[in-house]
Chains A and B, each alone.
Chain A
Amino acid sequence: MKAHLLFAEADFNFGADLPPHSADLIQDLELRTLLDAMAAGDEFLFDVSARVLLASLTDPDDIRFRQDILADSIAEPQVIREMYRVATAALQDKRKVWGFFSSQQPTSVLSAAVGQLEVLIVRLRELRQIADEHAAKFASEGLTTLLHTLQLELDDEYFETLSHHLRQLRFRNGELLSAQLDRDNSGINYVLRSGSSRRGWKERVGIEPRSVYSFSIHPRDEAGAHALQDISNRGINLVANATAQSADHVSSYFTMLRAELGFYVSCLNLHDQLTARDQPTTFPYPAPWGSQPEFSCTDLRDASLALRADRVVGNDVDADGKKLVIITGANSGGKSTFLRSAGLAQLMLQCGMFVTASALRASVCRQVFTHFIREEDAEMISGRLDEELKRMSAIADDLGPQCLILFNESFAATNEREGSEIGRQVVSALLEADIRVYFVTHQFDFADSFHRQQLGSTLFLRAPRQADGQRTFKLVVAEPLPTSYGRDIYERIGGWLGEQPAGPTPPQRR
């Protein structure tokens, strides 16, 4: 029996390492905010969501398989959450049972295994019941298969057989042992006993001053009892082993079911939050990677920002046919926000989720990379440009055709002329290797050199400044301009004197 909710015919490998550079994605795209919303305070869901989100699918069919399940889940959220609750409860029950037996004694192993199976079977019955009640409501391949399998494999006769074995195994339990202790507390002269009375009867008789003092170990002294049980009960080792293995099999089914359902529960959590904040969501269309790049969106928002900020501006971008998108313009103008929204949407699309937009269609890439401006390398050994280029070099180790890479103010740790030159060299090499590039830059020299090439495959977006000096946060298609707005900000904040001039300030959120 398999859950198979993340792949039609395979388990999701939750033990796999995260793809290389995942830490960069998490940091640069503010994935924590998104994952926190998906987790809704549950560490386990956070972990599951992170693993699924970062392990991008590359086949549009695989993506649609999950989209279908998620659509079913959104239609019947309480059924999905109930199944998740059952799987979670099963594992909790199991852990509680295990908690009483921390030693490696066969008696304990057997007893624990039987205890686990007893509680797990209760949960299996619950699953069967859910399948009986709700199987008809779902249309997705993944959920219908899962529920039908439950009905087929867990029929009433099977439950009868299980109960019988568990009663037999319980009968082996309950033997008691006594032992003597030596000076180093290791046991000698182990004796197997059928009763529990081991109290010395001569105690308390002596009245005169004594040269020998004595005491007895309490019959409930677990430390003493444990040391004896393993010896007298070696015979049950094999049975204990087999039973424990069975319990493991059942619980790993629940583990997998819980983790795979966990992803959809996380999506439901996110969906709830976005809906409550009145943010649009839609299932994006995954297009295969081809010679003509596809990326078009309507009202695309930064999902992480949408979860935090009160007012979020969406962007409409048509980058179909564009291999390079260069974003320039005003500082504080929404460049980074757009870049993040594009990166997030790509990741969300490629794990089968909805995106925060009213429409989105994009080519499916092999992997998403980010190269964002970073704080001064805390290790000090290397300077900033070197750090940036080292990161670029590390990314190049894993880059290849059909990848997407997002740059944010990269190669700016040197002067504009040299930063632009490095940028040009890097981007040109990437484009020629069938890699698509989004690049936020303030380096006019860099942006302008691509503009002057007049390539149809480059799109220029600009964060505009309105006549009053305010930013709109909404990007427009426009060529790069040879200036930026540092002077404006300087004047608006009143120079070093801090005297705010009259006039409106742009939307702020601290």
Chain B
Amino acid sequence: MRDQTPPVLAEPTQANPEFTSLLWPTLTTSVRAGEPQDDPSAEVFVRDLNVSQIVEAVASEREESDLIARLLYHQAGDVQTVEYRHEVFRDLEDAALFEAAGQFSERMRQVRLHLAQLTKMSSRQQREGWFLDAAAIYCDAVRAFTKDLTARPIASTGLLSFRGYLTAYLNSDGFTVLATDTASRKADLAQVMYQVRIRGPRVDVSRYEGEPDYSAEIEKTFERFQQGAAKDYRVQYRTWPGMTHVGAQIAELVARLFPAEFSALASYHRQHAAFCDPVISQFNRELQFYLAYLDYIRPLRSAGLRFCYPEVTPAAREVFARDTFDLALAAKLVPAGQTVVTNEFRLAGPERVIVVTGPNQGGKTTFARTFGQLHHLASTGCPVPGSAARLSGYDQIFTHFEREEDIANLTGKLEDDLIRIQKALLAATPQSIVIMNEIFTSTTLSDARFLGEKVLAKVIELDLLCVYVTFVDELASQDPSVVSMASTIVPGNPAERTYKVVRKPADGLAYALAIADKNRVTYKQLKDRLTS
């Protein structure tokens, strides 16, 4: 859904305390974020880090999915904005307020759905009734949420200023008139009763005057057509009352039968054509960002995983995270009842680069993703996986994960790898983050070592934050800025993985044959399988 501006202009409200945005502390940043963007889901790091999976899961089922996705794909821009969002998130951690916000936004959604359907209705009477219903829901939403916001403890600048705005709006003349009129029209229409009699092609519509239930006679009439066990060819008709042309014609006649009620409804429709307050609509749209993300992480918290509000510093010299995990992966494992292994990392002093080695399928790739995801999520102002974290602001994240071979690229996979790395390293600055995952696998060990050393040398020269996953153990001890971390195994059972990546020297252990055995493709196993 594109941003939907509410129909026409708002009714004037008398008091109007300042409320700018739930997302941006100042108007200038808000304007900046409104600029059209390229499709961020196509970016390399978004795909490699599975950020797109997170965004998809958070946003896709939502109203305002575009806005939510945009906010999750892009850095908030400055520390002030990150903190502004942290405050709102913290307020919404209050379960009762979170529920109230959810109800408010669901009502506002109903209002929008109603209003959107109006254009498809060709019958004036249906349109006006549906419009009245939308306004009634809107009034309920405003009243209930004002009450909830007043009852719950809130501390964020964003929500406090909105509460001020909303309270003033609720007491304004404009809203009072809307609420009174809506209640009157609803009461009018609840009194209307009429009847329709159809004979042949002819339909009679009149006021209801107490005729008895006709359905028994209808059933009797139907019976005469049920002779023998013939196949039933009846077509199912849309039920009455509905949107059929017949229903519309009837409604029009009912309106003639009850002129007072329907002319009052018509003037109500004219008078309140733009009942939605644009500031409230905007607040509701922005609120979706918070609700969607909190909804997404709620089951993970229930499963015992921790989230925290990281300290984000531009170009931090020290970064760390405790009890952290790959959010996209956790969102898949938790519903399946599987355990999520948490990890930690810390870079301090001269340390800038983590080289991850160790047995395959030991969580190396996941660890690398986690590092990148964490920084990205922190930059959007969301709570991040972990019990505590300090993270660095950055200009760009560069990732390099293996690609499939492409026939259109005749220069070969290795050259393609090198050209892509070259591009990234040329564009990277000391404020960048680089995540590389087992590149150069399509070449020899000696080539991989040579090229890996070249990459690391450049990374060290740039003095940027980097996670480098490799099977070349030698790379882990290249420089004081390099920290060696390794995936670990269960002693005595190499096929079982701990998915723990810990700080320790590269130990040259790899357990490929254990994986082969697990998949029943060792020589002996294949022989048995192929001859049986």
- A interface residues, Cβ below 8 angstroms from B: 30, 33, 103-106, 178-191, 198-200, 203, 211-219, 223-224, 226-227, 230-231, 234, 237, 304-305, 308-309, 331-333, 336, 340, 372-376, 379-386, 389-390, 392-393, 396-397, 399-401, 408-409, 412-419, 421-422, 424-426, 428-430, 432-433, 435, 442-444, 483-487, 489-490, 493-498, 506-510
Taking a contact as CB atoms closer than 8 A, the residue among B361, B407, B411, B426 that contacts A386 in the complex is B361
Q: A200-B201, A413-B438 are known contacts. Are A493 and B206 too (CB-CB below 8 A)?
A: no
Residues of chain B with a CB closer than 8 A to A104's CB? 233, 235
Residues of chain B with a CB closer than 8 A to A414's CB? 360, 471, 510, 512
Q: A190-B225, A413-B360 are known contacts. Are A375 and B403 too (CB-CB below 8 A)?
A: yes
Taking a contact as CB atoms closer than 8 A, the residue among A191, A379, A386, A509 that contacts B360 in the complex is A386
Taking a contact as CB atoms closer than 8 A, the residue among B225, B256, B414, B527 that contacts A489 in the complex is B414
Closest chain-B Cβ to A95's Cβ sits at a distance in Å of 21
Residues of chain A with a CB closer than 8 A to B57's CB? none
The stretch of B17-25, B135-143, B445-453 in contact with A is B445-453
Residues of chain A with a CB closer than 8 A to B221's CB? 188-189
Residues of chain B with a CB closer than 8 A to A304's CB? 407
Residues of chain A with a CB closer than 8 A to B235's CB? 103-105, 223, 226-227, 230
In the assembled complex, B418 has its CB within 8 A of some CB on chain A: yes
Q: Is the CB of A507 within 8 A of B410?
A: yes
Q: Is the CB of A336 within 8 A of B471?
A: no
Q: Is the CB of A413 within 8 A of B441?
A: yes
Taking a contact as CB atoms closer than 8 A, the residue among A430, A443, A506, A508 that contacts B526 in the complex is A430
| Closest partner residue, chain A, to B231 (CB atom) | A237
- B interface residues, Cβ below 8 angstroms from A: 50, 196, 198-207, 214, 218, 221-222, 225, 230-231, 233-235, 237-240, 242, 244, 246, 249, 253, 256-257, 326, 328-329, 332, 360-362, 364-366, 369, 401-405, 407-415, 418-419, 421-423, 425-426, 437-438, 440-448, 450-451, 454-455, 458, 471-472, 510, 512-513, 515-516, 518-524, 526-527, 529-531
Q: A30-B407, A386-B519, A484-B444 are known contacts. Are A183 and B200 too (CB-CB below 8 A)?
A: no
Taking a contact as CB atoms closer than 8 A, the residue among B202, B218, B366 that contacts A216 in the complex is B202
Q: Is the CB of B204 within 8 A of A212?
A: yes
Question: In the docked arrangement, what's the CA distance between A507 and B409, Å?
Answer: 11
A-B contact count (CB 8 A): 291
Q: Is the CB of A429 within 8 A of B526?
A: yes
| Closest partner residue, chain A, to B419 (CB atom) | A493
Residues of chain A with a CB closer than 8 A to B222's CB? 186, 188
Q: Can you sample 18 A-B contacts with CB below 8 Å?
A: A105-B233, A180-B199, A186-B237, A189-B221, A191-B200, A211-B206, A215-B202, A216-B201, A216-B203, A332-B410, A373-B441, A379-B332, A385-B512, A386-B518, A396-B529, A422-B513, A430-B526, A495-B422
Q: Is the CB of A184 within 8 A of B454?
A: no
Residues of chain A with a CB closer than 8 A to B440's CB? 486
| Closest partner residue, chain A, to B531 (CB atom) | A433
Closest chain-A Cβ to B507's Cβ sits at a distance in Å of 13
Residues of chain A with a CB closer than 8 A to B365's CB? 376, 380, 383-384
Q: Is the CB of B361 within 8 A of A382?
A: yes
Question: In the docked arrangement, what's the CA distance between A321 and B226, Å?
Answer: 77
Q: A375-B403, A429-B527 are known contacts. Are A389 and B203 too (CB-CB below 8 A)?
A: no
Residues of chain B with a CB closer than 8 A to A422's CB? 512-513, 516, 521
Q: A430-B530, A510-B409 are known contacts. Are A496 and B198 too (CB-CB below 8 A)?
A: no
Question: In the docked arrangement, what's the CA distance between A430 and B522, Å?
Answer: 11
| Closest partner residue, chain B, to A377 (CB atom) | B365
Q: Is the CB of B239 within 8 A of A332?
A: no
| Closest partner residue, chain A, to B421 (CB atom) | A496
Q: Is the CB of B526 within 8 A of A426?
A: yes
Taking a contact as CB atoms closer than 8 A, the residue among A190, A213, A383, A444 that contacts B253 in the complex is A213
Question: In the docked arrangement, what's the CA distance between A198 and B201, Å?
Answer: 7
Residues of chain A with a CB closer than 8 A to B364's CB? 383
| Closest partner residue, chain A, to B403 (CB atom) | A375
Question: In the docked arrangement, what's the CA distance between A428 and B201, Å?
Answer: 82
Closest chain-A Cβ to B123's Cβ sits at a distance in Å of 13
